[in-house]
Structure 1
């Protein structure tokens, strides 16, 4: 195929006059029947790399994808390019027998150019037998990182794909595609698919139009998120949470504040999930609040912001989830709320897994901590993680993050870093972070007393600073690699070789102010390509409304009709003929004929009527009363959820949460928190505190603290008092 013919096909099917990035090289590799490996970030035009060759080549291309939503989405988009409904099909468990017969018939008759299948469907003998008798142009494996155990979304069924493809026929080219892959994962993919000879194309992971920002997560996180969404009124956004309950609560908070938002998580029935997804795609709602399961297959190009209520488990997850913003090249704000408590919670979730799995999870999590707490360019950090160098001075999007716009203050902390490392060493590397900080500030507890550490000369040697200062420094020393958390001993701090060398020969250590994140100014959220700058905004709004009307009538997402950049181009060029519309960015002849007539009529009317010469005050309302909070606490304590998880679910710190529990037990309701106390106090300690409260004249904690002379922390005594009141007074 000549270049002229290739460009003509690109224009005919997709309405583009030129390829983006590495697309042309990838397409030519596939057209010449080479095994091909594509590492291209979300928004880089990965789908076109296999869709165009499939439309050009003889036979049917099989696209393996783990995501039913993605399949449906892409099939809808492909069908909008052709008058032939059967040009693209899905083959998965959602089809009935009649639909399966139709799919097979279209493949046999040469109508179907792309067939999307789930990996499980591809293993069925009846399908393998059928494919063996058909002309298969190539097999494309999307989300190829699912093959690797080091990938953030490992799927065991992907491991069998190579053997299955070999059974389909001789010499079928294999195309592997992924949006996130570290060098380790890339190696795994090539080896497992047996395509070490593949032409490999690695696009830059840089998304210059995305603005990265991390803010501290406080008890006011609901207000912070609501305020941000209201500032971006009318824009599409996704908010990610780790827990389903949090998804429901946050969606409700947004709704009562007048924001069109819906929840999405695995606990909803499939009908509701599909409905909420379609509402988002069709712009009936602006925001989806979701667990991380949402969006992997949602090809919505105009998502303007992605918010992480909880920090993700890996940089890959963060990169892929934020990559759903600004896929059309327009504005994309990536905002994450970070609290080290969330990291500790994720570490707790890992504790029951096999040690090898914990090690991988722990290593990935430490990278997330480093990213959240870094003072360097966040873009540089991400790109370095994926094995790509980036120059902040000359690189595109170099100032598009909070650290570059609002640099954090740093101060020299070499001697304090040395002091902390020496404490780790002098206490025989047997304490967790909390105990190390307690030793530095001179605060004792039962464990420290049992080791007689409180009688050592170094006890309290760092009392000129508060606990939170030392905890911040300890985390930054973890990130710097001077100390590590030992998985086997549930987080005991151990010294590394680098830490020992630092004690002997200290080099300058600059400490960044902990969580000195500043809220970005409104003018900070400026993309490299500001959408629709020169376009007629009144016409653009009318075109969007028309697109919504057409999309609803055809039961399709609006972007399947025309994407935002196409509408912007129309609002700039005022096309009034079919030929003019065919030359609008991203339209093309086929799409112009299929959807263009009402848009042309609207533009012509607008041009005539307007004599065109062509050529923050945010109120965050509460979602519930105190009684709702009380019920929430009682129910979750009954379920034996970790207390810090229950507190985080309502944005409470531990002090506030204990106050709420105290109010509950003092009002006569029992709370059984034995499951939590057993983790923090042994049997003898509980008996000692129980006997104290049984004989004490008052239940005041300051009196108890004085009586025990620092043997127990205030939090420990308050929690045991809740148990005592529940059992004795209620």
Structure 2
């Protein structure tokens, strides 16, 4: 591989006597086009570049990749990046090559001769970064290859995959502890965007990184607005979200089943909204095609199971929607974190109902897993339900789950802050429900799901009630003051609090572990009135579509220049067959328009314009700008 335009300044910096911090800053500016580090980035880079190990917990969009990319460029040799994301390695390498970094990958998609060529590049010292999957790295042959190479570091990305209790457990990650023994002189950095305190401890132990320095950034993503609304007709609710707030914008919609994925994608397309399905049941080539189209297109929506998304580096995903309840807060945070990586306002939206609670409980209870696994799954679900049913700030609740509750106040940018829910004293209603469950079991030997229990509470005759003479029970009709929807809302919240439980294959209701104090009137049960779905409070009404959101603050003349640059960027991306953001991000285009450079040198001062992109695109950008001049 020929040396990159970035190689010369990097070599000069390595050979000089500058302090490492200044060297790292100069690489940040020269190669990546940024003027300053964020948060703990500088400290992490110093730790690893000086030969130390690091465990890094940093939210999606926080700049984790720089924490191993820059040390790899500072240190002699090649940085080895361990990643489970085989399908995305090609794009990750292309993004690095776009800024002049010598990168490659070794995975099962390569032909034998292609893999051999990459291995020779590694041994010849011609690579700055090499990506590979964990199952390849732990092979004896691969470790023998690495022993013959000069290694700068090992970066273990998506490190939460080592946790067997996490939402993305990958067994192959368990073998990565061998790196400490096989390569004791090579620094290691483990990175993840999703880890509770327990997962943090587990990944530290399993990767044998007890002596590493730990860096835990805030998990807060203030640009994301969290909203959860009652599920009624979820696809219609999703359609309303897209057409009133995110028309023409890229988004991800998560569904629990493959069938729901297919039907939802078809429903969106039928309404003229470009959408593609993604799930494990599709042919691998189809999945790859849909993923690549999503990464490269503007305004495309992907409808997927949780099989999609890890490592997706598309900065302009404006919304993530869930049509079914996620199994854990870790999964929810990871999935919603794929929105707004560029820092622009984005939405994390979910439709959630009683059926979600019952189906998730049933899935856990009827599974063939060990009781320990089931207990852990119930704990994850309980935390997820608590987030859904909270009447306080969702962001504070979310951060609290990750052990970061200290120092955070109500955010003002979630639905419970923007439209605080009304509450009511539901103690008597809860007692009536529990009494009905107890009487049905004791006097009739029967247990029912929510539907029949509500019929008994409201005194509504049906075939089952008539056959079992439910009208003779003392609890018949004692809850007629509430309508069916109100009872369903109450039961959903009581399930979340453990006052009632859904049991077995059919999700029959039984008194929960918290029922006793309620029946004895030792506690007051405050429940939320079901929320009416709210539009976003960011300006009300229809929102600006597509990439134009980034340019909302621009003057009319500047917007014309912005659109001209977008058109130029699209043509370049199509010609190179890369996603538009790999040319320049929307934020960089806005920076160019606002600074209005008149020379290549002035263009180089814009954030996000590194040396290689300046050399490759500088003149073309300057030529594109005058076409929008309307002063």
Relative to the length of structure 2, the TM-score reads 0.88
Q: Which residue of 2 aligns with 1:662?
A: none
Deviation at 1:130, TM superposition (A): 0.7
Q: Which residue of 1 aligns with 2:139?
A: 124
On the 8 A contact 2:277/2:290 being kept in 1, the answer is: yes
Q: Which residue of 1 aligns with 2:586?
A: 564
Q: Which residue of 2 aligns with 1:359?
A: 375
Q: Which residue of 1 aligns with 2:64?
A: 46
Q: Which residue of 1 aligns with 2:197?
A: 183
On the 8 A contact 2:76/2:150 being kept in 1, the answer is: yes
Q: Which residue of 2 aligns with 1:618?
A: none
Q: Which residue of 2 aligns with 1:599?
A: 621
Q: Which residue of 1 aligns with 2:331?
A: 317
Question: CA–CA distance in 2 between the matches of 1:557 and 1:327?
Answer: 15
Give the 3 Å change call, closer, same or farther, for CA 341–502 of structure 1 in structure 2.
closer
On the 8 A contact 1:418/1:506 being kept in 2, the answer is: no
Q: Determine whether 1:507 maps to 2:507.
A: no
Question: CA–CA distance in 2 between the matches of 1:69 and 1:97?
Answer: 18
SS state at 2:104 partner: strand
Identify the match of residue 128 of structure 2 among 110, 113, 119. 113
Give the aligned CA root-mean-square deviation in angstroms: 2.9
Q: Determine whether 1:233 maps to 2:255.
A: no
Question: CA–CA distance in 2 between the matches of 1:489 and 1:241?
Answer: 22
Q: Determine whether 1:28 maps to 2:46.
A: yes
Q: Which residue of 2 aligns with 1:328?
A: 342
Residue by residue, what CA displacement relative to the aligned partner does 1:607-654 show, whole Å, maximum 9, x if unpaired? 4xx35xxxxxxxxxxxxxxxxxxxxxxxxxxxxxxxxxxxxxxxxxxx
Q: Which residue of 2 aligns with 1:90?
A: 105
Farther off after superposition, 406-415 or 7-16: 406-415
Give the 3 Å change call, closer, same or farther, for CA 185–494 of structure 1 in structure 2.
farther
Residue by residue, what CA displacement relative to the aligned partner does 1:661-716 show, whole Å, maximum 9, x if unpaired? xxxxxxxxxxxxxxxxxxxxxxxxxxxxxxxxxxxxxxxxxxxxxxxxxxxxxxxx
Q: Give the alignment of 1:412-431 within 5 angstroms.
A: 412-424=425-437, 427=441, 431=447
Identify the match of residue 605 of structure 2 among 553, 576, 583. 583
Q: Determine whether 1:254 maps to 2:268.
A: yes
Identify the match of residue 59 of structure 1 among 77, 81, 85. 77
Deviation at 1:110, TM superposition (A): 1.3
Question: CA–CA distance in 2 between the matches of 1:446 and 1:606?
Answer: 72
Deviation at 1:158, TM superposition (A): 1.2
Q: Determine whether 1:474 maps to 2:491.
A: yes
Identify the match of residue 68 of structure 1 among 72, 86, 101. 86
Q: Which residue of 1 aligns with 2:13?
A: none
On the 8 A contact 1:261/1:285 being kept in 2, the answer is: no
Question: CA–CA distance in 1 between the matches of 2:255 and 2:467?
Answer: 40
Give the 3 Å change call, closer, same or farther, for CA 257–500 of structure 1 in structure 2.
closer
Question: CA–CA distance in 2 between the matches of 1:524 and 1:23?
Answer: 37
Q: Which residue of 2 aligns with 1:402?
A: 415
Residue by residue, what CA displacement relative to the aligned partner does 1:417-473 show, whole Å, maximum 9, x if unpaired? 344345556656984553654554446889989998865534443333334433432
On the 8 A contact 1:238/1:303 being kept in 2, the answer is: yes
On the 8 A contact 1:430/1:492 being kept in 2, the answer is: no
On the 8 A contact 1:262/1:285 being kept in 2, the answer is: no
Question: CA–CA distance in 2 between the matches of 1:353 and 1:515?
Answer: 37
Q: Which residue of 1 aligns with 2:183?
A: 169
Q: Which residue of 2 aligns with 1:11?
A: 29
Deviation at 1:409, TM superposition (A): 1.9
Question: CA–CA distance in 1 between the matches of 2:264 and 2:512?
Answer: 41
Q: Determine whether 1:201 maps to 2:215.
A: yes
Give the 3 Å change call, closer, same or farther, for CA 450–35 of structure 1 in structure 2.
farther
On the 8 A contact 1:13/1:588 being kept in 2, the answer is: yes
Give the 3 Å change call, closer, same or farther, for CA 197–121 of structure 1 in structure 2.
same
Give the 3 Å change call, closer, same or farther, for CA 450–174 of structure 1 in structure 2.
farther
Q: Which residue of 1 aligns with 2:150?
A: 135
On the 8 A contact 2:561/2:627 being kept in 1, the answer is: no
Farther off after superposition, 8-17 or 591-600: 591-600
Question: CA–CA distance in 2 between the matches of 1:201 and 1:32?
Answer: 16
Q: Determine whether 1:538 maps to 2:553.
A: no
Question: CA–CA distance in 2 between the matches of 1:209 and 1:189?
Answer: 29
Residue by residue, what CA displacement relative to the aligned partner does 1:380-415 show, whole Å, maximum 9, x if unpaired? 12111111116665x6xx111112112222122233
Give the 3 Å change call, closer, same or farther, for CA 468–77 of structure 1 in structure 2.
same
Q: Which residue of 2 aligns with 1:551?
A: 573
SS state at 1:46 partner: coil
Question: CA–CA distance in 2 between the matches of 1:342 and 1:475?
Answer: 9
Question: CA–CA distance in 1 between the matches of 2:495 and 2:458?
Answer: 19
Deviation at 1:372, TM superposition (A): 2.2
Identify the match of residue 388 of structure 1 among 400, 404, 407. 404
On the 8 A contact 2:54/2:214 being kept in 1, the answer is: yes
On the 8 A contact 1:576/1:604 being kept in 2, the answer is: no
Deviation at 1:520, TM superposition (A): 3.5
Q: Determine whether 1:99 maps to 2:117.
A: no
Question: CA–CA distance in 2 between the matches of 1:226 and 1:471?
Answer: 24
Residue by residue, what CA displacement relative to the aligned partner does 1:474-513 show, whole Å, maximum 9, x if unpaired? 33233234444456996552442x4323433533322211
Q: Which residue of 2 aligns with 1:376?
A: 392
Give the 3 Å change call, closer, same or farther, for CA 511–592 of structure 1 in structure 2.
same
SS state at 1:333 partner: strand
Deviation at 1:234, TM superposition (A): 2.6
Question: CA–CA distance in 1 between the matches of 2:627 and 2:292?
Answer: 31
On the 8 A contact 1:90/1:117 being kept in 2, the answer is: yes
Deviation at 1:366, TM superposition (A): 2.7
Give the 3 Å change call, closer, same or farther, for CA 169–278 of structure 1 in structure 2.
same
Q: Which residue of 2 aligns with 1:465?
A: 482
On the 8 A contact 1:303/1:327 being kept in 2, the answer is: yes
Task: Structure 2 unaligned segments of length 5 or more: list them.
Answer: 1-18
On the 8 A contact 1:414/1:506 being kept in 2, the answer is: no
Question: CA–CA distance in 2 between the matches of 1:228 and 1:340?
Answer: 21
Deviation at 1:353, TM superposition (A): 2.4
SS state at 1:531 partner: helix
On the 8 A contact 1:31/1:53 being kept in 2, the answer is: yes
Farther off after superposition, 139-148 or 416-425: 416-425
Relative to the length of structure 1, the TM-score reads 0.76
On the 8 A contact 2:434/2:511 being kept in 1, the answer is: no
Residue by residue, what CA displacement relative to the aligned partner does 1:301-347 show, whole Å, maximum 9, x if unpaired? 11111122222222111111111111111121112122221332333
Question: CA–CA distance in 2 between the matches of 1:476 and 1:342?
Answer: 12
On the 8 A contact 1:215/1:519 being kept in 2, the answer is: no
Question: CA–CA distance in 2 between the matches of 1:368 and 1:417?
Answer: 22
Question: CA–CA distance in 2 between the matches of 1:444 and 1:181?
Answer: 50
**Aligned positions, number:** 599
On the 8 A contact 1:68/1:297 being kept in 2, the answer is: no
Question: CA–CA distance in 2 between the matches of 1:319 and 1:279?
Answer: 24
